[in-house]
C-alpha cells in the first residue's frame, strides 16, 4: 500500500505557489493531483512536479513563510488506484464465479482434488474429468463412474441394496455371490419342505428329515428349483441329487401339487439291479447275470429273459433235461429252444431227419423240463446219446 512521503524539509512563502525542498526526491515520489500537507496544517493539491526539489501548488500558500519545515505528501491517487484495482479484481473474480461455479460449471478435477469437494475433506467429492463422465471419489480413490456407456462401480454394494441372507427374496435387491446357491461354499440354503409352494428359483439342500416327498425316502441331498409360478395354480420344476451317490432326479408341479420323482440314468446307473415298487420302477434300466443255470436279463419294464446252453442226455428213449432258470419269474414263462445239429450228429444214434422238435413240460416260475423225441418210424435214441442245445424262457420278473 502507498505510504506518505516526507523526506527532507521545505521552504514556502505566504501567497506563493512554489515549494522548495532540501533533501527531497519529488520526481519519483510525488505526482500531479496528489496532496501535500504544509506547515500551516492545510492540504494543497500539487499542480506540477518541477524537479526533485521544487513543486508547484494549484493555489497560493496561505500560512506564514517557513524555512526548513516538515511536510508530508499524501499518495491519494495511489490509494485510489489500489482501491480501484482491488475492486476490479473482485469484480473479475465474482464474474468468474458467476460464470463458473455459481452457475453450476465446475473445473476439471482429479481424484486427489475432485471438481466438487468438501472444505475439510478435499479428496472426497464429485470429479468432472470431461468426456461426458462423472466420477464419485472418496479418499482420493474413484468408487464409481457414470458415463453414456453405463454405471461402473468400483466399490462393493452393501446395505439393503443387496440381499441380506442366502434366501432373501426382497424385490429390487441385488443378489450377492453365494446367495441362492451360485458361488456358495457351505452356505447353500436349506429347504425344510420339498413340496412347499414358496421355494424360490435357487440351489438348495435338504436333510433326510425334510418334509414333503424326498427323491429317495430317508436320504438327504441337494437340489435346484428350476421354475416357479406361485399361487394355487403353481407350476414348478425341481432337480435333485442324492447325497453321497451319483443319482439324479427331477419332477414337476401343476395346479399346486408335485408329481412323482423320476430318476435320470447315465452310464454309471443304467446297468445294475432292477426293482419296482407298486408298479413304479425304482432301480436300474437293465440287470443281467450269469450262473451255473445260464444267463438272465431283466429290463426296467419287468421283462425277463433267461437263456442256457445245457446238454440233453438219454432217458427212457428220449433226450431230456430238467432246467432250473438262472433267475426266477413271477409266473410261468414262454419257452423256446433247439438242438445243436453238429453236436447231435456226433453224439446221437438217429440221423438228423429222425429227430423231432423240442418240447417243454412241468413249467413253473423256476424250472421246466426239456424233451426231444424221434419222429414216428425213425431210429430211436440209444443209451449214451447226448446233445448240446439252446433254450430260452421269456416272462416277467415283476
pLDDT value at position 170?
84
User: Does domain 290-396 sit in CATH 2.60.40.2080?
Assistant: yes
- For the cut 90, the answer to whether the pLDDT of residue 10 exceeds it is yes
358-372 tens-digit pLDDT:
999 999 999 999 999
291-306 tens-digit pLDDT:
999 999 999 999 999 9
Q: Where are the domains of the chain?
A: 9-74, 108-155, 290-396
199-225 tens-digit pLDDT:
888 888 899 899 999 998 889 898 888
- For the cut 70, the answer to whether the pLDDT of residue 272 exceeds it is yes
Give the residue-averaged pLDDT of 128-157: 85
Summary mean pLDDT of the chain: 87
Q: pTM for this one? A: 0.54
The 3 state secondary structure assigned to the chain is CCCCECCCEEEECCCCCEEEEECCCHHHHCCCCCEEECCCCCEEEEEEEEECCEEEECCCCCCCCEEEECCEEECHHHHHHHHHHHHHHHHHHHHHHHHCHHHCCCCCCCCCCCCEECCCCCCCEEECCCCCEEEEEECCEEEEEEECCEEEECCCCCHHHECCCCCCCCCCCECCCCCCCCCCCCCCCECCECCCCCCCCCEEEECCCCECCCCCCCCCEEEEEEEEECCCCCEEEEEEEECCCCCEEEEEEECCEECCCEEECCCCCCECCCCEECCEECCCCEEEEEECCEEEEEECCCEEEEEECCEEEEECCEEEEEEECCCCCCCCCEEEEEECHHHHHHHCCCCHHHEEEEEEECCCCCEEEEEEEECCCCCCCCCCCEEEEEEEEEEECC
- Grade residue 283 by pLDDT with cuts at 50, 70 and 90: confident
Amino acid at each position: 500500500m502507498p505510504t506518505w512521503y516526507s523526506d527532507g524539509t521545505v521552504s514556502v512563502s505566504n501567497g506563493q505557489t512554489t515549494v522548495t525542498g532540501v533533501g527531497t526526491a519529488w520526481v519519483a515520489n510525488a505526482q500531479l493531483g496528489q496532496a501535500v500537507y504544509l506547515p500551516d496544517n492545510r492540504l494543497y493539491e500539487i499542480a506540477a512536479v518541477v524537479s526533485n526539489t521544487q513543486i508547484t501548488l494549484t493555489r497560493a500558500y496561505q500560512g506564514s513563510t517557513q524555512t526548513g519545515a516538515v511536510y508530508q505528501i499524501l499518495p491519494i491517487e495511489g490509494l485510489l488506484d489500489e482501491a480501484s484495482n482491488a475492486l476490479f479484481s473482485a469484480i473479475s473474480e465474482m464474474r468468474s464465479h458467476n460464470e463458473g461455479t455459481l452457475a453450476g460449471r465446475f473445473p476439471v478435477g482429479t481424484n486427489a482434488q475432485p471438481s466438487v469437494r468438501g472444505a475439510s475433506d478435499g479428496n472426497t467429492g464429485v470429479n468432472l474429468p470431461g468426456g461426458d463422465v462423472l466420477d464419485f471419489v472418496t479418499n482420493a480413490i474413484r468408487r464409481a463412474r457414470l458415463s453414456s456407456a453405463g454405471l461402473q462401480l468400483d466399490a462393493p454394494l452393501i446395505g439393503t441394496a443387496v440381499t441380506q441372507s442366502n434366501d432373501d427374496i426382497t424385490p429390487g435387491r441385488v443378489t450377492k455371490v453365494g446367495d441362492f446357491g451360485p458361488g456358495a461354499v457351505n452356505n447353500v440354503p436349506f429347504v425344510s419342505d420339498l413340496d412347499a409352494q414358496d421355494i424360490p428359483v435357487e440351489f438348495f439342500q435338504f436333510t433326510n428329515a425334510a418334509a414333503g416327498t424326498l427323491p429317495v425316502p430317508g436320504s438327504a441331498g441337494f437340489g435346484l428349483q428350476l421354475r416357479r409360478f406361485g399361487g394355487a395354480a403353481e407350476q414348478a420344476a425341481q432337480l435333485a441329487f442324492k447325497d453321497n451317490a451319483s443319482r439324479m432326479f427331477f419332477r414337476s408341479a401343476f395346479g399346486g401339487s408335485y408329481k412323482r420323482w423320476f430318476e435320470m440314468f447315465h452310464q454309471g446307473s443304467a446297468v445294475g439291479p432292477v426293482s419296482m415298487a407298486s408298479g413304479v420302477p425304482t432301480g436300474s434300466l437293465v440287470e443281467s447275470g450269469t450262473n451255473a443255470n445260464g444267463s438272465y436279463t431283466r429290463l426296467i419294464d419287468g421283462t425277463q429273459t433267461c437263456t442256457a446252453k445245457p446238454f440233453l442226455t438219454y432217458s427212457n428213449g428220449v433226450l431230456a433235461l430238467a432246467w432250473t432258470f438262472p433267475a426266477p419269474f413271477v409266473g410261468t414263462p414262454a419257452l423256446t429252444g433247439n438242438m445243436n445239429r453238429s453236436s447231435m450228429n456226433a453224439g446221437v444214434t438217429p440221423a438228423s431227419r429222425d429227430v423231432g422238435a423240442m418240447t417243454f413240460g412241468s413249467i413253473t416260475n423256476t424250472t421246466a423240463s426239456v424233451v426231444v423225441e424221434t419222429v414216428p418210424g425213425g431210429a430211436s435214441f440209444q443209451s449214451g446219446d447226448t446233445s448240446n442245445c439252446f433254450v430260452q424262457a421269456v416272462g416277467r420278473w415283476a
